[in-house]
Amino acid sequence: MSIREATINDIPELFSVRMSVKENVLNTPALVTDEICADYLVNRGKGWAYEADGKLVGFAIADLVDNSIWALFVRPEYEGRGIGLQLHHTMMAWYFSQTTAAAWLTTDAGTRAEQFYLKAGWRNVGKAKGNEVKLEMNFASWNT
């Protein structure tokens, strides 16, 4: 089991992980193209891949342009093993090594994902579109 920087060659597996999740399902996959994903990995920020059992089982992507977390997903059969937390820690340590600007993300309200982020120190700053909530992590909170 290991975390490494994600590359554009990982994009097919990133999509495979993304489409496998049971929460925060991507209802319109055509809206997230390979080109968009590559832009987040190469130009806008950075991503990490978690490998276990010889395959990519989770990933995370931070966006420095919008100061947001674009993605953090783990295959359902690998949930509960601390993979998401390791990806989160790696991503946020890098993010706050690049900027002190607060990071934000949205996720569906009332989900395990929302609880995961709240437990990791994010705070709810209001509603987003639909059933989503907007969460924020600032530099001071990360460092405590």
Question: In angstroms, rounded to a whole number, what is the distance separating the alpha carbons of residues 82 and 80?
Answer: 6
**Strand, helix or coil for residue 49:** strand
> What is the set of domains in the chain, with CATH numbers?
2-142 (3.40.630.30)
How do the pLDDT tens digits run along the chain, 144 residues long?
Answer: 799 999 999 999 998 999 888 877 666 667 788 899 999 999 999 999 999 999 999 999 999 999 999 999 999 999 999 999 999 999 999 999 999 999 999 999 999 999 999 999 999 999 988 889 999 999 999 988
* pTM value > 0.85: yes
Question: In angstroms, rounded to a whole number, what is the distance separating the alpha carbons of residues 94 and 56?
Answer: 20
